[in-house]
């Protein structure tokens, strides 16, 4: 149909990562846009393929299919502002790969959150042009970005500030702060029991300096983009969290005597998620980024209260309020910040999983641990009024292969250790989680159900893979 209309079909290259055997069947007029938005040195070649490398350019070339490598100037996996060093390094890596493997071209892609964020892309794209249209692939990113800011704005001093802001990364942990923040410092301090005031102050200084440098009206959008962009990012996180809640409610309903209540919860979550998506579609390009996130905020707060009430009705007073905070959240973060799915075989004492009654967040970040080295990593996460430190020791034999040796939980003066959790990590998408607890909470006898399923060797019904944000950060 596309060719009959006088057009040439284009396809995103990741569509064939799982099905390389289909490539020979492609029409030879198809143009493949082979995207990859992470630096090759710190990330696997193909995100959605269990961290296994795949030389896609060679695959397409061998089948006579034209392919273009597609890096990104801006993408919203983790941050609401540009990451100049990572983006330029990604494009540089892609260019080297394409030159070595016979790709037909390079196309830089851009995934903006709203019109306000588009200006953030310009200096990064101009920096990329410094080597994409030049002769030297080895020019330092700082020099490229400074030349870009001088060319675009006649203000080279903007470059180091954009680089510094790009280093202020929170990896999605602060989404509730972003949702409510009115200023850059509030994005760091909001609802934080131990806020990093020094970082907040520096964030304010950097933001103010960017605003000062970009004073003219034509560039004013850049100075104002960061907070609205963060709200847009959280807007999507919130919608995904609602979809997750609906999936978990459906799972709980299968084991609950309160199945009708769980269905009510599922329907309410999906309805609100649809409203979020409708508002996104209606206003994304209207420029109304400042007002938009507040329109559904009140509804979302009421929905959280409704969820707590449904939890109480479904699982009893002892578990009220915990329906939206899964008892167990296992979260593995690889070197480029993407969440990993864990196919886990759990053989642990069910008492440990049900007695604490709080969420556990276990995180492995191989950026902190070096290159796939074993390390204990502390992570503090506030649950209600309780701050509990959690530690997880993880070894990794190679990309995508993790072995969680032990989980140690500290709650007050009590310390417990859960052993024998083994897993093989597979990256699903940015935000994939393995969550458990809701199916247990919706059951009249959670402990009995837990032991029953473990005895049957079926943990999949308890630990359900869902995709989206860290729902405990979103209050849901």
172-176, 256-260, 405-409, 467-471: range with lowest mean pLDDT: 467-471
Examine the pLDDT at 446 and tell me if it is beyond 50: no
Do 68 and 217 share a domain, yes or no?
A: no
Instruction: Look at 61 and 418; give whichever has higher pLDDT.
Output: 61
Do 144 and 175 share a domain, yes or no?
A: no
pLDDT computed for residue 122 by the predictor? 83
Please report whether residue 208 resides in a domain: yes
Distances in Å between the alpha carbon of 351 and those of 362, 439, 453?
A: 18, 16, 14
Q: pLDDT confidence of 180, banded at 50, 70, 90? A: low
Do 133 and 206 share a domain, yes or no?
A: no
pLDDT computed for residue 153 by the predictor? 83
Examine the pLDDT at 5 and tell me if it is beyond 70: yes
Farthest-apart Cα atoms in the chain, separation: 72
Do 155 and 205 share a domain, yes or no?
A: no
pLDDT computed for residue 11 by the predictor? 92
Domain boundary among 206, 224, 242: 224
pLDDT tens-digit series, residues 396-405: 333 333 333 3
Examine the pLDDT at 74 and tell me if it is beyond 60: yes
Q: Across 62-120, where does the E strand assignment appear? A: 66-70, 72-74, 105-106, 109-110
How many domains does the chain divide into?
A: 2
Examine the pLDDT at 147 and tell me if it is beyond 90: yes
pLDDT computed for residue 284 by the predictor? 55
In the predicted model, what is the mean pLDDT of residues 252-258? 47
pLDDT computed for residue 265 by the predictor? 60
CA-closest candidate to residue 117, choices 157, 176, 70, 72: 72
Please report whether residue 333 resides in a domain: no
pLDDT computed for residue 389 by the predictor? 27
Supply the range of the domain harboring residue 181. Answer: 170-224
387 DSSP β-pair partners? 382
In the predicted model, what is the mean pLDDT of residues 234-249? 56
Do 60 and 165 share a domain, yes or no?
A: yes
In the predicted model, what is the mean pLDDT of residues 446-469? 36
Do 162 and 217 share a domain, yes or no?
A: no
62-66, 122-126, 175-179, 200-204: range with lowest mean pLDDT: 175-179
Please report whether residue 18 resides in a domain: yes
In the predicted model, what is the mean pLDDT of residues 334-348? 27
Please report whether residue 335 resides in a domain: no
Q: What is the percent of the chain with per-residue pLDDT over 90, rounded to a whole number?
A: 10
Do 144 and 196 share a domain, yes or no?
A: no
Mean pLDDT of the chain: 57
Please report whether residue 210 resides in a domain: yes
Domain boundary among 224, 244, 266: 224
Ranges of H-type helices in 102-157: 118-132, 141-153
Max mean pLDDT range (63-67, 151-155, 289-293, 336-340): 63-67
Do 112 and 182 share a domain, yes or no?
A: no
Do 165 and 192 share a domain, yes or no?
A: no
pLDDT tens-digit series, residues 76-118: 555 667 788 888 988 998 898 888 888 999 999 887 655 545 6
Max mean pLDDT range (174-188, 383-397, 460-474): 174-188
pLDDT tens-digit series, residues 350-361: 222 222 222 222
Do 160 and 20 share a domain, yes or no?
A: yes
In the predicted model, what is the mean pLDDT of residues 364-386? 28
297-301, 405-409, 447-451: range with lowest mean pLDDT: 405-409
Q: pLDDT confidence of 269, banded at 50, 70, 90? A: low
Domain boundary among 129, 152, 169: 169
Q: What are phi and psi of 368, to 5 degrees?
A: -80, -30
Q: pTM of whole model > 0.75?
A: no
Q: pLDDT confidence of 43, banded at 50, 70, 90? A: low
Q: pLDDT confidence of 143, banded at 50, 70, 90? A: very high
Please report whether residue 264 resides in a domain: no
pLDDT tens-digit series, residues 304-328: 555 544 444 444 333 333 333 222 3
Examine the pLDDT at 237 and tell me if it is beyond 60: no
Please report whether residue 123 resides in a domain: yes
Instruction: Look at 141 and 233; give whichever has higher pLDDT.
Output: 141
Residue 337 CB contacts under 8 Å (≥ 6 apart), including other chains? 77, 78, 169, 171, 172, 430
Examine the pLDDT at 208 and tell me if it is beyond 60: yes
pLDDT computed for residue 141 by the predictor? 92
49-58, 330-339, 341-350: range with lowest mean pLDDT: 341-350
Q: DSSP states of 341-383 as a string?
A: EEEEEE-S-HHHHHHS-S-EEEEEEHHHH-SS--EEEEEEEEE
CA-closest candidate to residue 233, choices 361, 81, 72: 81
Please report whether residue 305 resides in a domain: no
Do 177 and 150 share a domain, yes or no?
A: no
Q: pLDDT confidence of 15, banded at 50, 70, 90? A: confident
Instruction: Look at 426 and 328; give whichever has higher pLDDT.
Output: 328
pLDDT computed for residue 451 by the predictor? 47
Do 48 and 100 share a domain, yes or no?
A: yes
Question: Using CA atoms, how far apart are residues 120 and 25, in angstroms rounded to an integer?
Answer: 40
In the predicted model, what is the mean pLDDT of residues 32-38? 85
Indicate the length of the chain as a whole number.
476
In the predicted model, what is the mean pLDDT of residues 360-365? 30
């Amino acid at each position: 149909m596309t060719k009959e209309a006088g057009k040439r079909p284009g396809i995103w290259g990741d569509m064939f990562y799982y099905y390389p055997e289909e490539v020979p069947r492609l029409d030879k007029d198809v143009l493949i846009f082979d995207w990859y938005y992470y630096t090759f040195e710190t990330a696997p070649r193909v995100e959605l393929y269990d961290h296994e490398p795949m030389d896609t350019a060679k695959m397409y070339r061998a089948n006579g299919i034209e392919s273009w490598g597609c890096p990104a100037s801006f993408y919203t996996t983790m941050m609401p502002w540009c990451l100049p060093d990572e983006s330029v390094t990604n494009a540089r890596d892609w260019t080297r790969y394409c030159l070595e493997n016979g790709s037909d071209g390079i196309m830089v892609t851009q995934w903006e959150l709203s019109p306000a964020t588009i200006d953030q892309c310009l200096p990064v794209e101009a920096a990329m042009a410094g080597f994409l249209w030049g002769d030297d692939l080895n020019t330092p990113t700082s020099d490229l970005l400074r030349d870009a800011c001088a060319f675009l704005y006649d203000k080279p001093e903007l470059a180091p500030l954009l680089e510094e802001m790009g280093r202020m990364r929170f990896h999605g942990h602060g989404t509730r702060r972003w949702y409510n923040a009115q200023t850059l410092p509030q994005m760091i301090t909001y609802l934080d029991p131990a806020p990093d005031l020094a970082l907040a102050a520096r964030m304010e200084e950097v933001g103010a300096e960017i605003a000062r440098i970009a004073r003219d009206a034509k560039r004013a959008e850049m100075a104002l983009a960061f907070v609205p962009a963060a709200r847009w990012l959280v807007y999507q996180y919130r919608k995904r969290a609602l979809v997750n809640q609906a999936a978990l409610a459906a799972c709980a309903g299968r084991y609950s005597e309160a199945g009708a209540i769980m269905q009510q919860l599922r329907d309410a979550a999906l309805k609100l998620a649809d409203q979020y998506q409708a508002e996104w579609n209606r206003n994304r390009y209207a420029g109304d980024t400042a007002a938009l996130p507040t329109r559904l905020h009140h509804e979302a707060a009421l929905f959280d209260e409704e969820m707590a009430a449904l939890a109480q009705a479904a699982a009893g007073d002892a578990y009220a309020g915990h329906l939206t905070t899964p008892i167990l959240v296992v979260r593995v973060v690889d070197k480029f910040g993407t969440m990993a799915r864990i196919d886990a075989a759990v053989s642990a004492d069910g008492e440990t999983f049900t007695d604490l009654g709080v969420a556990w967040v276990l995180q492995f970040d191989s950026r902190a641990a070096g290159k796939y080295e074993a390390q204990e990593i502390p992570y503090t996460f506030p649950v209600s009024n309780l701050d509990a430190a959690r530690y997880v020791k993880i070894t990794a034999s190679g990309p995508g292969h993790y072995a969680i040796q032990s989980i140690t939980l500290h709650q007050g003066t009590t310390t417990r250790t859960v052993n024998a959790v083994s897993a093989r990590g597979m990256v699903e998408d940015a935000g994939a989680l393995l969550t458990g607890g809701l199916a247990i909470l919706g059951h009249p006898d959670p402990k009995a159900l837990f032991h029953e399923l473990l005895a049957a060797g079926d943990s999949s019904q308890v630990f359900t893979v869902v995709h989206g944000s860290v729902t405990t950060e979103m209050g849901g």
